[in-house]
């Protein structure tokens, strides 16, 4: 079995600097004072001081012996929350290949400004992420940007064409945290079964977004009353459940670790629930917007509610919410797809699907907590620890001694509105303009280095 | 406050018009005329005159909504009673009837519409009231009463039974 | 009189796509869908159309109402017949008419659709009559057109074809008078029909007694009952006591995409023959948005028979379209 190496976006040479931090270059020493430090998985919810050095959390409460307080930068974080940095396991940054939509530099800034410290990017880049060279390119671009950690999800098949297997072992050795065919189908079930068997050999996580291309053909909205009324070609729930059921049958035989990405329907949730109860190695994610929007939000005057999978009924949305709450759905993703404005300037069915989701990921999930639909513990678990464990980012997504200092400082009581001025992403395609949120990221650390700081945020001192 | 001019009674107005029209027919100025009223006040007047003149052919009715030049500012009235010209108007003498001749624009629109139906030999204009304020070079041959009014004053004709007329003064804008 | 008929329970959307049809003063500016017009506006359009019908009976079939205005027929989907009726309506209002036929292949990208729009606007157009294969295209154009431009939807994807529904309502009103006592059945490919969707909204707004759709499950969309219809899969049951039968056009592609086994089977089960017509009320009228596929959805003897009002629909279409153009263009000032 090959152990996934830690994949560190800010690490030039993982051999020389296994912890991904070059002292004096990438790292600073920090003392974050008095924040409410929350890490549910460590039963941690207390106001304390956190000491950071060499890219790691080196002390909590009292200063560790080697910590030189005079050299540390300090933040007075009273009244704020310090949480593990959010790990978004499915975000398109559009680089390489579609830099007219967004770049790694623009999107990693948007990420850290919203509490996200790690981004996993799917392999549908151009060129396709089916070689280590592409993975390295992405890593280098992220290092240059110097904001969030960016890790790659390699391709399952060469060119994502669903014909020949990609070199998945080499891809994972070269830094990919999982493999996937993104939203491209593998039509040949025999090939899919073999791909999963091969992945299982090396315990590689396979991310699959179930959508049957023939059932979803031409569709752009949930097949239901709204699509019927607006004359929009529909995508039935079976476009998700039929391939999911097939996949689960194959997993039962192959034993590969599968992460089902971006669930949209109640029926699919039931299938996952059943598979988990049978002990299948299946986990699942949902996008933050599917937790808040439904077909009722379909706005044909604007393509910003055209997403894939489609926004389904209110009943489906409620099922996704409770599945997240009870852990049937493991994590929440942004499914970030920044677009240039022209991509959405067309009649609804002709717009490109996807929304700019990075900056609403954490606020939307915490809004569920505010509404009493989710515990803070489960919310943070779904955004930090759980994805870290699933994607082999074993030293991230937690606040404990020796953990990587990927942290977000959140002001839990700022009323702010998402609008053109507050949105950082190059993709302006969000249906959440005008929404009010309460939780705002004020500062972010990646690898112990402060990568984002809100000007009206906490008080800094040297 | 200015005193309002005295209006003749409807019967008196109709009688005066009738006399003038009969005279024109006798003089040969109007030959076997066809009467056409402009919707809606003109139609009421025309119905009364048509009956008294005992013209053999049915009365024509014009609705000039589609010919107005103020369509942009006034919009379109939804219930437009369509124009009815039951007889071919080519080469005919036409008595065009309206209640009030003011700016002349209604008459222009009516004449435009008439010419879309055919080419009359002559159009003779008969109105109950002729007042000042012409914006087009149009005059009536048969007039029941001539009036000079302030721009704020308007003559309102109600009908068809009984046919009445009164002057209304728009409130001055403070 | 129908009883226990369920009125539409259309859930409210977060953003009402029809609100854009009205200007700030509440006057109709664009006609994109029947939804949101309500019986007041529909009746107003039908009443106005009555006035325009007389224009078509004259020697000079023209009134100067829209003199100097430019109407652009922007057709991204070929349709000579529909385009001609809009063209005739505009010309009878004395507007200048420009026909632009664009294959959608040239405008698959949204940016070029907008570019096309800007280019035509630069020609000082006052009204766009739009037909497009994508649902919502007319809304999209209305949203992005210059403020003085009115947009008429001449059919967008499966979504709406409001002037067709209005002319059908106009035809029914002229023949039957009242809507409340009527049972109306729409037969055939409802799923892909923008005509059917607009008819459903129009007839429900006008409070018809009962509205039915008849067809196989592949051609009747899911969740259509909440729009205010009863679904029938059997012609004999569906046509019972019906006053108005509206046959929809069946596109040949439906057989290729596996929605139907064959034209013959469809004709046998759902094609309107003289025999099936007897299942409806004796004075039932037969309508079709045209062009009819004889021998596929309708028998020639029915299409040309005494109960057919198909040709009246065509001539009424001109008056209704004149009315809509005149009403929308009078909103701009």
Q: In this complex, do A347 and C194 lie within 8 Å of one another by their Cβ atoms?
A: no
pTM of the predicted structure, to 2 decimals = 0.87
Domain limits, chain A: 21-83+403-461, 85-390
What number is the ipTM of this complex? 0.90
Q: Which residue has the higher pLDDT, A275 or B78?
A: A275
Q: Least CB-CB distance to A351: which of C15, C110, C160? A: C110
CA dihedral for C95, C101, C106, C107, sign (positive or negative): positive
Domain A85-390 has CATH 3.30.413.10: no
Q: Are B93 and B33 in contact (CB under 8 A)?
A: yes
What pLDDT sits at residue A15? 34
**Would you tell me which CATH number, out of the four given (1.10.1060.10, 2.60.40.1170, 2.30.40.10, 2.60.40.420), belongs to the domain A21-83+403-461?**
2.30.40.10
Q: pLDDT digit of tens for each residue in chain A (462 aa)?
A: 333 333 333 333 333 343 444 445 556 899 999 999 999 888 899 999 999 998 999 999 988 988 888 888 999 999 999 999 999 999 999 999 999 999 999 999 999 999 999 999 999 999 999 999 999 999 999 999 999 999 999 999 999 999 999 999 999 999 999 999 999 999 999 999 999 999 999 999 999 999 999 999 989 999 999 999 999 999 999 999 999 999 999 999 988 899 999 999 999 999 999 999 999 999 999 999 999 999 998 877 778 999 999 999 999 999 999 999 999 999 999 999 999 988 888 889 989 999 999 999 999 999 999 999 999 999 999 999 999 999 999 899 999 999 999 999 999 999 999 999 989 999 999 999 999 999 999 999 999 999 999 877 676 665
C260/chain B closest Cα distance in angstroms: 45
B–C touching, 3+ CB–CB pairs within 8 Å: yes
What pLDDT sits at residue C12? 62
Our CA dihedral for A306, A309, A310, A315, rounded to 10 degrees, sits at -150
Instruction: Give kind and range of the element (H or E) at residue A238.
Output: helix A238-254
Q: Tell me how far apart the alpha carbons of residues A234 and C238 are, in angstroms, rounded to a whole number.
A: 26
Q: In this complex, do C51 and B66 lie within 8 Å of one another by their Cβ atoms?
A: yes
* The two structure tokens encoding residue A228: 């019927």
Segment B75-87 shows an average pLDDT of 75
What pLDDT sits at residue C333? 43
What pLDDT sits at residue B20? 93
What pLDDT sits at residue A2? 35
The number of residues in chain A equals 462
The DSSP bridge pattern shows strands A440-446 and A459-461 to be unpaired
Model pLDDT for residues C155-210, shown as the tens digit of each residue: 999 999 999 999 999 999 999 999 999 999 999 999 999 999 999 999 999 999 99
Q: Which residues of A form the catalytic set? A: 335
What pLDDT sits at residue C106? 55
CA proximity to A293, closest of A280, A304, A279, A277:
A304
CA dihedral for A408, A412, A418, A420, sign (positive or negative): negative
Taking contacts as CB-CB distances below 8 angstroms, the residues of chain C near B66 are 51-52, 55, 63-65, 93, 326
- In order, the DSSP letters of A368-422 are HHHTTSS-HHHHHIIIIIHHHHHTT-TTSS--STTSB--EEEEETT--EE--TTT
Q: Are B112 and B67 in contact (CB under 8 A)?
A: yes
Q: Which of B80, B81, B113 has the most C C-beta neighbours within 10 Å, making it the best mutation to test the interface with C? A: B80
Helix (H, G, I), strand (E, B) or coil at A459: strand
Q: Tell me how far apart the alpha carbons of residues C179 and C169 are, in angstroms, rounded to a whole number.
A: 9
Q: Tell me how far apart the alpha carbons of residues C52 and C155 are, in angstroms, rounded to a whole number.
A: 23
Segment C314-325 shows an average pLDDT of 95
- H helices of A61-131, in order, are 104-112
Kindly list the partner chains of chain A, i.e. chains with 3 or more CB atom pairs below 8 Å. C
Taking contacts as CB-CB distances below 8 angstroms, the residues of chain A near C156 are 231, 347
* The two structure tokens encoding residue A200: 């299982």
CA atoms within 13 A on the CB side of A393: 36
pLDDT at residue C1 tops 50: no
What pLDDT sits at residue A1? 34
Confidence of residue B64 (pLDDT cuts 50, 70, 90): confident
A–B touching, 3+ CB–CB pairs within 8 Å: no
Q: Which residue has the higher pLDDT, C32 or A345?
A: C32
What pLDDT sits at residue C15? 65
Segment B8-23 shows an average pLDDT of 92
Q: Is A460 on the interface with C (CB under 8 A)?
A: no
Q: Which residue has the higher pLDDT, C70 or A2?
A: C70
What pLDDT sits at residue C118? 84
Q: Tell me how far apart the alpha carbons of residues B151 and B133 are, in angstroms, rounded to a whole number.
A: 8
Q: Tell me how far apart the alpha carbons of residues A295 and A70 are, in angstroms, rounded to a whole number.
A: 56
Q: Tell me how far apart the alpha carbons of residues B76 and C324 are, in angstroms, rounded to a whole number.
A: 11
Q: Are C64 and B67 in contact (CB under 8 A)?
A: yes
Q: Are A460 and A436 in contact (CB under 8 A)?
A: no
Model pLDDT for residues C111-126, shown as the tens digit of each residue: 567 888 888 888 889 9
Q: In this complex, do A300 and C136 lie within 8 Å of one another by their Cβ atoms?
A: yes
Instruction: Give kind and range of the element (H or E) at residue A118.
Output: strand A116-121
Q: Tell me how far apart the alpha carbons of residues A209 and A184 are, in angstroms, rounded to a whole number.
A: 9
Strand ranges, E, within C34-80: 70-75
* The two structure tokens encoding residue B145: 């009463």
What pLDDT sits at residue C165? 98
Q: Which of A101, A300, A315, A316 has the most C C-beta neighbours within 10 Å, making it the best mutation to test the interface with C? A: A300
Quick one: angle between helices A358-370 and A104-112, nearest 10?
A: 20
User: What distance separates the 2 farthest-apart alpha carbons in chain B?
Assistant: 54
Model pLDDT for residues C268-291, shown as the tens digit of each residue: 999 999 999 999 999 999 999 988
The DSSP bridge pattern shows strands A407-411 and A416-417 to be unpaired
CA proximity to A73, closest of A31, A33, A34:
A31
- The pLDDT mean for chain C works out to 89
What's the CA angle centered on B102, arms B101 and B104, to 5 degrees?
A: 80
B131 forms bridges with which residues in the sheet? B147
Q: Tell me how far apart the alpha carbons of residues C226 and A313 are, in angstroms, rounded to a whole number.
A: 15
A409 forms bridges with which residues in the sheet? A82, A443
Model pLDDT for residues B88-137, shown as the tens digit of each residue: 889 999 999 999 999 999 999 999 989 888 899 999 999 999 999 999 99
Taking contacts as CB-CB distances below 8 angstroms, the residues of chain B near C95 are none
* The two structure tokens encoding residue A174: 């070269």
Q: Which of C111, C116, C135 has the most A C-beta neighbours within 10 Å, making it the best mutation to test the interface with A? A: C135
CA proximity to A148, closest of A75, A100, A87, A101:
A87
Q: In this complex, do B117 and C63 lie within 8 Å of one another by their Cβ atoms?
A: no
Per-residue buried b or exposed e for C170-186, using 16+ beta carbons within 10 Å of the residue's own CB: bbbbeebeebeebbbbb
The region that residue A327 occupies, defined by phi over 0 for left and psi between -120 and 50 for alpha, beta otherwise, is left
Q: How many CB atoms lie within 10 A of CB C266?
A: 23
CA proximity to A176, closest of A210, A214, A131:
A131
Strand ranges, E, within A261-382: 282-287, 331-333
CA proximity to B93, closest of B140, B30, B139:
B30
DSSP B67: G
C58/chain B closest Cα distance in angstroms: 7
């Amino acid at each position: 079995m090959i152990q996934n190496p830690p994949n560190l976006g800010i690490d030039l040479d993982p051999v020389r600097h296994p912890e991904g931090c070059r002292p004096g270059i990438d790292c600073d020493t920090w003392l974050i004072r008095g924040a409410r430090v929350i890490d549910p998985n460590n039963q941690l919810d207390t106001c304390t001081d956190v000491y950071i050095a060499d890219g790691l959390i080196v002390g909590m409460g009292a200063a560790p012996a080697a910590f030189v307080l005079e050299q540390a930068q300090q933040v007075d974080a009273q009244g704020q929350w310090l949480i593990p940095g959010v790990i978004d396991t499915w975000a398109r940054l559009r680089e390489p290949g579609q830099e007219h939509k967004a770049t790694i530099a623009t999107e990693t800034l948007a990420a850290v400004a919203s509490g996200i410290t790690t981004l996993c990017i799917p392999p549908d880049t151009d060129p396709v992420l089916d070689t280590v060279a592409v993975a390295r390119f992405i890593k280098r671009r992220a290092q240059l940007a110097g904001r969030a950690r960016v890790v790659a999800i390699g391709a399952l098949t060469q060119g994502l064409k669903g014909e020949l297997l990609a070199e998945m072992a080499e891809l994972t050795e070269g830094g990919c945290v999982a493999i996937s065919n993104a939203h491209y189908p593998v039509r040949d079930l025999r090939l899919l079964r073999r791909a999963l068997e091969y992945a299982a050999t090396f315990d590689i996580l396979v991310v699959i977004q179930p959508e049957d291309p023939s059932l979803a053909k031409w569709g752009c909205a949930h097949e239901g009353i709204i699509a019927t009324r607006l004359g929009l070609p529909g995508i039935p729930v079976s476009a998700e459940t039929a391939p999911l059921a097939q996949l689960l049958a194959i997993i039962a035989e192959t034993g590969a670790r599968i992460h089902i990405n971006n669930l949209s329907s109640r029926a699919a949730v039931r299938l996952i629930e059943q598979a988990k109860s049978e002990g299948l190695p299946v986990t699942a994610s949902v996008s933050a917007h599917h937790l808040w929007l439904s077909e009722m939000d379909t706005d044909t005057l604007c393509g910003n509610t055209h997403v894939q999978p489609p926004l389904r009924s209110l009943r489906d949305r409620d099922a996704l919410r409770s599945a997240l709450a009870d852990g049937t759905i493991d994590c929440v993703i942004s499914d970030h797809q920044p677009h240039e404005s022209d991509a959405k300037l067309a009649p609804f069915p002709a717009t490109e699907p996807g929304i700019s989701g990075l900056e609403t990921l954490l606020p939307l999930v915490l809004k569920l907590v505010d509404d009493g639909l989710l515990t803070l513990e489960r919310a943070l678990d779904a955004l930090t620890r759980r994805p870290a464990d699933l994607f082999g980012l074993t030293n991230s997504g937690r606040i404990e001694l020796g953990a990587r200092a990927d942290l977000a400082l959140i002001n839990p009581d700022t009323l702010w509105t998402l609008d053109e001025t507050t949105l950082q992403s190059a993709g302006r395609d969000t249906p959440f303009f005008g929404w009010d949120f309460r939780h705002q990221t004020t500062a972010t650390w990646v690898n112990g280095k402060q990568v984002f700081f809100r000007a009206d945020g906490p008080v800094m001192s040297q | 406050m200015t005193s309002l001019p005295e209006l003749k009674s409807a019967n008196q107005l109709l009688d005066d018009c009738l006399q003038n029209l009969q005279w024109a027919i006798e003089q040969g100025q109007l030959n076997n005329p066809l009467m056409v009223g402009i919707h809606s006040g003109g139609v009421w007047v025309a119905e009364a005159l048509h009956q008294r003149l005992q013209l053999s052919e049915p009365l024509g009715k014009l609705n000039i909504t589609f010919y107005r030049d103020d369509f942009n500012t006034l919009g379109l009235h939804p219930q437009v009673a369509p124009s009815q010209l039951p007889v071919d108007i080519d080469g005919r003498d036409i008595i065009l009837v309206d209640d009030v001749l003011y700016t002349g624009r209604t008459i222009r629109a009516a004449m435009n519409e008439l010419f879309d139906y055919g080419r009359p030999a002559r159009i003779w204009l008969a109105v109950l009231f002729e007042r000042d304020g012409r914006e087009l070079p149009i005059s009536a041959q048969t007039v029941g009463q001539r009036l000079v009014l302030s721009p704020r004053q308007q003559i309102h004709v109600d009908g068809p039974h009984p046919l009445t007329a009164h002057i209304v003064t728009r409130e001055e804008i403070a | 009189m129908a009883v226990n008929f369920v009125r539409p329970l259309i859930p409210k959307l977060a953003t009402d796509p029809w609100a854009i049809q009205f200007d700030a003063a509440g006057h109709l500016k664009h006609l994109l869908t029947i939804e949101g017009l309500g019986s007041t506006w529909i009746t107003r359009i039908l009443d106005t159309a009555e006035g325009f019908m007389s224009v078509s009976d004259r020697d000079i079939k023209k009134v100067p109402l829209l003199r100097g205005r430019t109407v652009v027929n922007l057709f991204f989907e070929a349709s000579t017949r529909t385009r001609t009726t809009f063209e005739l309506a505009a010309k009878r209002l004395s507007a200048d008419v420009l026909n632009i036929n664009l294959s959608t292949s040239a405008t698959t990208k949204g940016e070029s659709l907008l570019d096309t729009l800007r280019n035509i606007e630069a020609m000082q157009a006052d009204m766009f009559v739009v037909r497009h294969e994508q649902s919502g295209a007319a809304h999209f154009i209305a949203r992005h057109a210059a403020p003085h431009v009115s947009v008429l939807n001449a059919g967008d994807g499966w979504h709406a074809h409001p002037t067709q529904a209005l002319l059908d309502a106009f035809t029914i009103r002229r023949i039957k008078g009242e809507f409340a006592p009527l049972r109306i059945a729409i037969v055939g490919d409802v799923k892909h029909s923008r005509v059917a969707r607009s008819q459903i909204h129009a007839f429900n707004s006008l409070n018809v007694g009962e509205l039915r759709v008849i067809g196989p499950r592949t051609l009747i969309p899911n969740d259509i009952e909440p729009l205010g219809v009863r679904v029938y899969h059997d012609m004999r049951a569906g046509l019972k006591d019906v006053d108005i039968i509206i046959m929809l056009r069946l596109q040949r592609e439906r057989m290729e995409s596996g929605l139907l086994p064959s034209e013959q089977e469809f004709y046998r089960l759902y094609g309107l023959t003289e025999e099936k017509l007897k299942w409806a009320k004796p004075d039932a009228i037969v309508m079709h948005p045209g062009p009819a596929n004889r021998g596929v959805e309708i028998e020639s003897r029915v299409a040309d028979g005494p109960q057919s009002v198909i040709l009246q629909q065509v001539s009424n279409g001109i008056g209704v379209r004149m009315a809509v153009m005149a009403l929308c263009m009078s909103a701009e000032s």
